[in-house]
Structure 1
C-alpha cells in the first residue's frame, strides 16, 4: 500500500482561505468594524463635505470617495490582518498551527486570499455608494481600467504585507485594534482622503508622501476622476511611474519585514 500524498501547499492555502473567510464573517464585531467602517465614514462625511474643487469641475465628494476606497483597502488588509494575526498569536492559535504538518506558506496564502476577497467586496460596495450618492463614475477607458486594476492589486499587496508585518507590534491581541488604528487614522488625514492633498501644510504633505496610502489614493483618483483635477495634484500630473515605484518599494520592504519580524509565538513563550 502506498502512502497517500499530502495536499499541495496551494491547495491547503486555498482551504485555509475559505476557512478564514467563514470565520471572519461569523465574527460580527470584527466584520462590522473592518468592513463597515469605511462605508459609515463615506455616508457621514459625504453628507458634510460639499462643493466643487476650485477650477476643476470635480465635486469634492467624488475626490473623497476615491480616497475612501483606498482607505477601505487598507482597512480590509492592514488593519484586519494586523489585528487578526495578533489575536491568533495571543490565544495560541498560531502556536498550534505551527506545530501541525501544514506548510507555513499555506497560512499566509489563506490570509492573502481573505484580504483580497474582502478588499474586492469593500471596493465594489464603496464604489456603488460613491456612484449613487456622489456621481462617481467607473473608469471611462481601457487605459483607466488598467490603471485601476494595477493600483488596486498593488495596494492590496502592499497593505497585506504590512498588515502581516505589523501584527508583531501589539503586545497582546486585546490591544491590537487600538495600537494599529491610531497610525491608520493619522495616515488617512495626511494622505488625501479627507482633504485635498495639496491643501495640507507642506510638512504634512512630505510626511504623507512617505507612506503608501497617499499613492494608492492618487492612483485611484487617476483612474476614477477626470484630468481636470491635475492642477490640484502635487506634481500637476498623475505620476503613474512614481506610484508604481513607491508601492513596489513598500512591497519589498513589507516582505522583508514579514521575514524578519513575524512570530508564531507570544513574547512570553520564549
Structure 2
C-alpha cells in the first residue's frame, strides 16, 4: 500500500500493471469527451486516484491474486484456531457422568454443562485473535474510508455531483464488504466478558461461542464468493447441477 500510495511511484506501478488501461489514469489520453468515468481518474488527487484504482482492481478481478492471498491464509488461521478449540473441548457426556457420580446433589438443579474451560489456552487464543485483530482492522478501514470520502467531498476535487455520488456509493460498498467479518466481534466480546462474570445460564455463553464459529465459517465463504474467479466457478457448478437435475427429471 505504501508503494501504491506513493505519489511518484504509485501511478507508474499502476500503469505498468495495467498497460491496457493506461488511458484511464489520465484525462489527456482520453479523446472521448463522453467517457466521464475514465476521465475522472485524471482530475483526482494522487492519493485518492490510486486508492480508487486499487478498489477498482479488486472488484474487477484485476488483482485477484492479492485477494486470494489474503483470503486463503485468513481462512486457514480461523479454521485452525477453532478446530484446536473444539479438540480441546471435553465431551458433555463425560462431564455429566462426573457430576452425577461425585456431585449428585446437583442433578435436581438441571444445570447446563459447558465443555469449555473458561481460561484455557485455546479459548483465550480465539478471544485474543478477535479482540485484538478485529478492532485494529476496523479502525484502519474506518480511517481510510473517512479520508477518501473527505477527499471526494472536498472542493479541491473537481467533478460533478453525479460522479461524486457514484464514487461515494463505490467506497461505501467496499467498506461494507470489508467490515462484514467484523460482526464476529460482538458475540466474541460478550463471550469474553462472560468468562469473568457470574453468569449461571451457560446456554448464553454457548450461544455466543456458536455464533462466533458460525460467523467465522460464513465470512470466508462470502469473501470467496465476491472474488470473480471463485464466483464464476460456483456459478458454473450451479449450472451443471441444475442441468443434471433437469436431465434426471426427464428420464
TM-score by length of 2: 0.27
Q: Which structure has more RCO (C-alpha within 8 Å, separation ≥ 6)? A: 1
Query: Which structure shows the bigger proportion of residues in helix conformation?
Result: 2
Larger radius of gyration between Structure 1 and Structure 2: 2
- What TM-score results when the alignment is normalised by the length of structure 1? 0.25
